[in-house]
Amino acid sequence: MQIKDLMSTSLITIDKDQNLSDALKLLRKNKISRLPVMNNKQLVAIVSERDIAEKLGSSKYESMPASRLHVSSVMVKDVITVPQTMRLADVGNLMLENGIGSVPVMDGDEMVGIVSKADFVALAVDGDYDKIITKDLMTKEIISISPSERLVHARRLSIDSKVGRLPVIDEGTLVGVITSKDLMRAFIDFRKTVPEKYQKSQIKEVLVENFMSTNVTVVEKDTMISEVAKIMVDTGYNGLPVVDNDEVVGIITQTDILRLISKLEG
C-alpha cells in the first residue's frame, strides 16, 4: 500500500504570520494536534500542541499572551515530508525513527495530504489484529507524576521524556492523566486569569491536579489491539493506561500500534 491510499486530503493549515490564538482555535475546532504552516501557499513548517505547550511554559515566553505570539515563533521549521508514492511501512518507520506524529505528503512541491499516527491506528481496527493483545505491545516503563507536583515540572518531564501523556498516580492509584493538550490549555488559561506582574511567581504554584483530566479511559492488559485501536479512533486519545486488577502496569500508545503496523506491512 502507498501512503496516498491512507493520507487525509482534507488539509487544515495556518499561515506563519497568524497569531498563536488562531492556531489554538483551529486545533480545538478540528480536534487535531498539529498544523502545517504555510508561507505564500508553500509548506514551511509544522506547529503542534506539544510545541505550543513547550514554548508557553518557558521563561522566555512565560508572561506573553498567545494573542501576541506569531506562529513563526513556535513552529518547527525542519519539516520531514514524504512523496505520495512512498510505501506505508517506509513512512511508518520514518515517523518512528524521527519521533514525529505526522508527515505532510507531497506531489512534487505541492502538499496534497497529511498522514498521522491516528491514520495508521485506524488500520488496526481491522479483525486481522484480533490475535494481538495489549500486554504484547505496551510500554511497561511508566513515566508518571503526582497530582501535587507543579505544572512546570510536568512540562519539563514531558519534554525530557519525549512523551505527550503522563499518568497521574497518587499513592499507587491512577487519579488522572495530563497531556500536551492539558498543558497547552493550562498555560493559556493561566495567562488569561493571572495579571502579568504576578505570573512569574504564581506559575510555580499551579499544580498538576488543577489541570489533569480525571475521567481516564483505561484498558486491561489482555484487551485485543483491535479494540484498543477502536477506542483510540472513537475518543481521539493517543495513549491509554493499561491496568491489571486496577494497578497500572503499562501504557499503550499510538506509537506502539504504529510500530506494529510498520512491521507487519513491511
Give me the sign of the Cα torsion angle 141, 146, 151, 156: negative
* pLDDT score for 221: 95
Tell me which H or E stretch contains 49.
Answer: helix 49-56
* pLDDT score for 62: 60
* pLDDT score for 195: 85
List C-alpha distances in Å: 188 to 233, 240, 246: 27, 25, 34
Secondary structure string (H, E, C) spanning 179-215: EHHHHHHHHHHHHHHCCHHHHHHHHHHCEHHHCCECC
* pLDDT score for 201: 84
Residue 103, all three cell numbers: 508527515
Instruction: Count CA atoms within 13 Å of residue 258 on its CB side.
Output: 24
Cα–Cα distance for residue pair 125/86, rounded to 1 Å: 23
Domains of the chain by start residue, with CATH: 3-123 (3.10.580.10), 127-265 (3.10.580.10)
Q: Encode the chain (266 residues) as per-residue pLDDT tens digits.
A: 899 999 999 999 999 999 888 998 899 888 888 999 999 989 999 998 888 877 777 766 666 666 778 899 889 898 999 999 999 999 999 999 999 999 999 999 999 999 999 999 999 997 677 789 999 999 999 999 999 999 999 999 998 998 889 999 999 899 999 998 898 888 888 888 888 888 888 888 999 999 999 989 999 999 999 999 999 999 989 999 999 988 999 999 999 999 999 988 87
Cα–Cα distance for residue pair 202/210, rounded to 1 Å: 13
pTM, two decimals, is: 0.86
Q: Report yes or no: 99 and 80 within 8 Å, Cβ to Cβ.
A: no
Q: Determine the Cα angle at 194 with ends 192 and 197, to 5°.
A: 120
